Chains A and B, each alone.
Chain A
Amino acid sequence: MATVTLNKAEKTYPNGYKAIHGIDLKIDDGEFTVLVGPSGCGKSTLLRMIAGLEGISDGEISIDDKVVNKVAPADRDIAMVFQNYALYPHMNNYDNMAYGLKNRGHSKAEIDAKVREAARILQLEDYLERKPRQLSGGQRQRVAMGRAIVRQPKVFLFDEPLSNLDAKLRVDMRLEIKNLQQRLGITSVYVTHDQVEAMTLADRLIVMNGGVAEQIGSPIDVYERPASQFVAGFIGSPAMNFLKGKASDDKKHVTVGDGVELELDHDVEGGRDVTVGIRPEHLQMHSDGHGRIDAGVRMVESLGAETLAYLDFGANADNVTLRLQGTHQFTQGQKLNLSVPAEKIHLFDVESGKRI
């Protein structure tokens, strides 16, 4: 049960590279926070700073209102699950889970009770005597989680724990982690580059880019109102379409492609150049010709449950993704008539990428 507070936390490496540019964040008790971003954005560094494996160059990190900048990792009352599991290969799974408790001087009986309880929760009871290498990837990751939960820490830290697993197992483990975290109610910070994991697990999402938190908010909020072009492009799959556009003089429309005028739900400065963002799932197809967009089909991908079509509707808009439910038969070059609801159009500043 704990809160984690970051106050202008910064990380500068000895070679002068600044990995984290001052992050302010308050993670509530029991909250599941996900740090997401492309590789090199500093998300793992930030997690390791909370863990104490990396020093803090400036600012403060507190766990439960106690500043932990100078506290050793073992004394921060946190537990971490690593990408490569980091299980001790020469110990059996029981000893792997018990090691942290042993070092903290718990009694044998107490350790045994805690390890067996964790093993029960994680359905590892039959594997305790085995060595980690005798387990599958998913089971190893569960042992790693067991090692974290036996200590009943204040904070769980996950560093891309699922990226070494195959796709199906990843979905199962994702649900399991979410379930476990809710049951135990332990404050968690989870790092991933996978936006599906981020969306499904997070109570709160932190999208990072270049050592800066670009947006902090609930997953749905981030999806519906991305604060910048970067966030918009990163969250959502297939990625959002970005088109070059120009606001019309009446401030209520924006022109993209070959003179396609789209209606807006809010005013923009007339004549301004903007980046127009449209999610593939928000393009609607019309059979009666009411749509404002006429586009030609370039290519089609049928996924069964949905169909992706790549469209061309003019200059700077020649590779727009359309996502439709169900299966659809299109021929190459076929003309489609489309529209976008005004409230689903995102506008971004051309220079700064900020939402308008």
Chain B
Amino acid sequence: MYQSKWRIFTNHTILVLGALFMILPVWIAFASSTHTREYIFQHGLQFWPGGEFFSNYGAILFDAEATKGRVTALEMLFNSMVLGLGFAIGKVIISMMAAYAIVYFRFKLAVPLFWIIFSTLLLPLEVRIVPSYEVVASLGLLNSYTGLILPLIASATGTFFFRQFYRSVPDELLEAARLDGAGALRFFIDILVPLSVTMIAAIFIIMFVVGWNQYLWPLLMTTDDQLYTIVIGIKQVYNSLYEGGQIPQFPKAFALTIMASIPPVLVVVIFQRMFVKGLVETEK
């Protein structure tokens, strides 16, 4: 399509302005995280970086005292990573298997079961959080990674996406595999999983970010500081603001926020590339 220079110029101007507008809060948070707390307290949010980058970030990462808890940001990042990965991988595996059963096995309840699963999409975690807590508590899983991840890994969204994908896989492929002597499990592992790589990448990206950003559930589940995720850690640092007597830890809170947002961004950047590559490759 022909585009005039003027038009390209305006398009780009709008895009650049939009991008700057979106990135501005992040930049201010970053710039403000590199000053001393006294400076921020006196002068408010900063637009230009200061000279405290290493001391602020170093303290947060390695000194539990700086986060006002008993864990360092590094440990919290690790906890978040476990939650994010466990959440995303668990969801991908569970929903792939559920969708496989629904699409490929002829049993009478397949359709009603699918709609029951699908209807749980309407029920967010918050609605069932009290019973879920009750179940996890009575299983003795409070303050454990298992308790943190397991109740969340059933995924109606994932099941739905995989179901739609499997239904688009030609039946002839299944028939060819049957003639080639592949049983149900073989077909799943040898044929279906490799074919769904792009779907897996897409679901993984989305679910990792959702898992990483979980707030309410980890807050309820974990009373032990050792299991705090970084999202809860941010809250923890802010909590100390109200405890009086000290100058608030604004720069460290900002630093923690910046660090909390880096892993999801990395995951999206890395997997996005794979995702797009996969899409291009399967194009016929």
Indicate with 1 or 0, residue by residue over B177-211, a CB within 8 angstroms of chain A CB atoms. 11111100010001100110000000000000000
Q: How far is the CA of A216 from the CA of B189 in the complex (A)?
A: 44
List residues of chain A with CB within 8 A of the CB of B181: 74, 100, 103-104
List residues of chain B with CB within 8 A of the CB of A88: 173, 176-177, 190-191
A residues 86-107 near B (Cβ < 8 Å) are: 86-91, 99-100, 103-104
Q: How far is the CA of A103 from the CA of B179 in the complex (A)?
A: 10
Interface residues on B, range: 10 to 19
Interface residues on A, range: 20 to 34
Is B190 in contact with A99, judged by CB distance below 8 angstroms?
yes
Q: How far is the CA of A53 from the CA of B177 in the complex (A)?
A: 11
Q: How many interface contacts (CB-CB < 8 Å) are there between A and B?
A: 57
Is A90 in contact with B178, judged by CB distance below 8 angstroms?
no
| Choice from A72, A78, A82 contacting B176 with Cβ under 8 Å | A82
Q: How far is the CA of A78 from the CA of B177 in the complex (A)?
A: 13
List residues of chain B with CB within 8 A of the CB of A80: 175-176, 179
A85 to chain B, nearest CB (A): 8
Contacts A74-B181, A103-B182, A133-B284; A90 near B176 (Cβ below 8 A) = no
Give the A-binding residues of B (Cβ under 8 A): 170, 172-173, 175-182, 186, 190-191, 194-195, 282, 284
Chosen A-B contacts, 15 in total, with CB atoms closer than 8 Å, are: A51-B175, A53-B178, A74-B180, A79-B179, A80-B175, A86-B170, A86-B173, A88-B173, A88-B176, A88-B191, A90-B194, A91-B194, A100-B181, A104-B181, A133-B284
Given A53-B175, A53-B179, A73-B178, 19 extra CB contacts under 8 A: A51-B179, A72-B178, A74-B179, A74-B180, A74-B181, A74-B182, A78-B179, A80-B179, A82-B175, A82-B176, A84-B170, A84-B172, A87-B176, A88-B176, A88-B177, A88-B190, A99-B190, A100-B180, A103-B181
Q: Which 7 A-B pairs have the closest CB atoms?
A: A100-B180, A86-B172, A103-B181, A74-B181, A86-B176, A90-B194, A82-B172
Give the B-binding residues of A (Cβ under 8 A): 51, 53, 72-74, 78-80, 82-84, 86-91, 99-100, 103-104, 133, 147
